[in-house]
C-alpha cells in the first residue's frame, strides 16, 4: 500500500504568504488544507480542501482541523497565518477601545493558542518521522514599539510567547515551533513581504532535524539571520 501523503493546514490562506506556503508544500507532495473567509469548498481538489473560516471565532479554528482530518488525516504541519489590528493615533495609543483590543486578541492570541493546542494533540498521534511543526507568521512587533500599532504589539508579543513556551516545552518530543519574521537585509521591518520566501522557509523549518531558534528572523534569499533584536 502506498504511503499516505503528509498534510499541511494553513490557517489564513491569503494570496501572498498563504499562497506561497501552499505552493511550497504542495510541490513536495503534501495534501493541503486552506482555511480563510474567501476560499470555496466548490474549488476542492483531490489534494486540496478549502475551509471557510472566520478566525474571530475560535470554534472555526477547531472546525478547520476537523475538516482536514476527515479529508486527509492529521496535519503534520500547521501554519497560523492570521492577523488583525485596530490602529490608533501615534500620540494616543489608549484611544484603542477595550472592545477592539479584545476582538483583536481573539484572533491574534487566542486563535493562535487554540491552533497550537489542536496541533499538539494531533502531533501526539503521528510517528516520529512526521514533520510535526507549528509555525506562526509574525512581524517585528513582538520586539519593536510602534505606538499606533499597540494592538499588534500585544498580539504579536502574545503569539511569540506561545511559540517560545511551546518550543521549550515540547523539544523533547521532537515537535517544532516557530515565529517567522521577515526583515530587510539590515534588520529593518519588511512591510511588503515575500510569500514565496515564506513558503521556502516554512518547508525547511518543518523538515529540520530538530528545533532551531524559535524566533525566525529571516531575509528572502538568505534565510535565518540573527539581528540585535532577535529573540532566542
- Among all residues, which ones are annotated catalytic? 156
Instruction: Tell me the pairing of strands 215-219 and 223-224.
Output: antiparallel
Nearest to 198 by CA among 3, 53, 23: 23
- Angle in degrees, CA 55, 141, 90, rounded to 5: 100
DSSP state of 79: E
The set of cell numbers assigned to 184 is 530587510
Using CA atoms in the order 217, 223, 225, 231, what is the torsion angle rounded to 10 degrees? 30
Sequence-distant (6+) residues with CB within 8 A of 100 are 86, 151
Instruction: Please state the φ and ψ torsions of residue 18, each to the nearest 5 degrees.
Output: -55, -45
Of the chain, the end-to-end C-alpha distance in Å amounts to: 43
Amino acid at each position: 500500500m502506498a504511503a499516505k501523503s503528509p498534510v499541511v493546514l494553513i490557517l489564513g490562506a491569503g494570496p501572498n504568504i498563504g499562497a506561497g506556503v501552499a505552493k511550497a508544500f504542495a510541490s513536495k507532495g503534501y495534501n493541503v488544507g486552506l482555511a480563510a473567509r474567501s476560499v470555496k469548498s466548490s474549488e476542492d481538489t483531490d489534494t486540496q480542501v478549502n475551509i471557510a473560516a472566520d478566525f474571530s471565532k475560535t470554534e472555526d479554528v477547531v472546525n478547520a482541523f476537523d475538516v482536514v482530518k476527515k479529508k486527509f488525516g492529521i496535519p503534520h504541519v500547521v501554519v497560523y497565518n492570521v492577523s488583525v489590528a485596530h490602529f490608533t493615533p501615534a500620540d494616543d495609543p489608549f484611544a484603542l477601545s477595550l472592545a477592539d483590543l479584545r476582538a483583536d486578541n481573539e484572533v491574534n492570541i487566542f486563535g493562535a493558542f487554540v491552533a497550537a493546542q489542536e496541533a499538539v494533540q494531533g502531533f501526539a498521534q503521528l510517528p516520529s518521522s512526521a514533520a510535526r511543526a507549528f509555525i506562526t507568521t509574525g512581524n517585528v512587533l513582538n520586539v519593536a514599539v510602534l505606538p499606533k500599532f499597540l494592538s499588534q504589539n500585544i498580539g504579536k508579543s502574545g503569539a511569540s510567547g506561545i511559540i517560545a513556551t511551546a518550543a521549550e516545552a515540547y523539544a523533547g518530543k521532537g515537535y517544532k515551533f516557530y515565529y517567522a519574521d521577515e526583515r530587510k537585509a539590515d534588520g529593518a521591518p519588511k512591510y511588503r513581504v515575500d510569500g514565496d520566501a515564506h513558503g521556502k522557509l516554512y518547508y525547511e523549518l518543518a523538515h529540520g532535524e530538530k528545533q532551531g531558534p524559535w524566533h525566525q528572523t529571516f531575509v528572502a534569499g538568505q534565510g535565518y539571520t540573527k539581528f540585535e533584536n532577535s529573540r532566542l
